[in-house]
Amino acid sequence: MEKVFVAMSGGMDSSFAAYMLKEQGYEVVGITFQLLPGFIKNVNNPKACCSLETINRARRVARDLSIRHYVINLKEEFEHYVIERFIEEYKAGRTPNPCVLCNKYIKFSAFFHKAISLGGGKVATGHYAVIEEAPGGWRLKKSRDRSKDQSYFLYPIPQDMLKATLFPLGNETKMELKEKAHLIRWDTEKIRESQDICFIPEGDYRPFLSRFVQPRKGPAYFVDGTRLGDHEGIHLYTVGQRRGWPFPSVSPSTWWISGVQRIR
């Protein structure tokens, strides 16, 4: 029986991934991550994928499935590869995607290597994406449920890891999973959705960044050189931003910040 280590966040998708793999005959081991470093205080977001509540939910699901469940500490890796890079990208006037960073450096690096070292033949997650063998290697493709497709967030996965990765939900739809939950009488209150950026539970990255980035206020200009007013710091704005724009009467594609970055 092949052993599969499943990343379990306590949410419905990863819980169903574990359930489906067990039904397919794999020896399933659930793994939940501890990610938030100590300097992030008072974060208790029940929808985040690494909160205490989600760890407890994952543990309950594993018990219901009669599979082993472990919690591994990846705080150091998460701080270095996700949080620090998130902050540095905003400092540079760029817009990072922390989920892409987490997939690349946590799920398909730190977790992957840990699972293999513990005797796992494969790893699995609850992502909506499809892996297919193709001439010359393996191919990452969009999921059947295009409204839930997450292949974009998984593009950095190298070939050797794709070969040893399973996405059980790739050919499922969210509606089908909800119907299956009803049929097997699974208590979905125990397996709520996990979402949001886990280290920014309030959904607003600006207060978080202000703890680490010294605001550099300055003038903002229209493309013809007309001064519009003052901005509060480049780290508070992103390319393509619409909400929270400091000059609502002016398109964000037509103004620029002196000496820092032209917004196109």
Three-state DSSP class for 80? helix
Per-residue pLDDT of the chain (264 residues; tens, 9 = 90+): 899 999 998 888 999 999 999 999 999 999 999 988 876 654 555 555 567 788 888 999 999 999 999 999 999 999 999 999 999 888 877 888 898 999 999 999 999 999 999 888 999 999 999 999 988 889 999 999 999 999 999 999 999 999 999 999 999 999 998 888 777 777 666 555 655 677 886 667 878 888 888 777 788 787 778 887 887 777 777 766 666 666 666 655 555 554 444 433
- 100 vs 69, 121, 135, 197, CA distance in Å? 25, 24, 26, 11
Q: Is the dihedral of CA 149, 75, 49, 110 positive or negative?
A: positive
Q: Are strands 255-257 and 218-222 parallel, antiparallel or unpaired?
A: antiparallel
- Segments making up each domain of the chain, as ranges: 3-191, 214-262
Residues in CB range of 29: below 8 A, 6 or more apart: 3, 4, 5, 6, 67, 68, 69, 70, 120
Q: Which amino acid is residue 126, in one-letter code?
A: G
Q: Which residues of 138-164 are buried (b: 16+ CB within 10 A; e: fewer)?
A: bebeebebeebbbbebbeebeeebbeb
Catalytic residue list: 102, 198
Three-state DSSP class for 234? helix
Enter the CATH code of domain 3-191. 3.40.50.620
Per the CB < 8 A criterion, the answer to whether 66 and 118 are in contact is no
Query: pTM of the full predicted structure?
Result: 0.81
- Rounded distance, CA 230 to CA 188, Å? 49
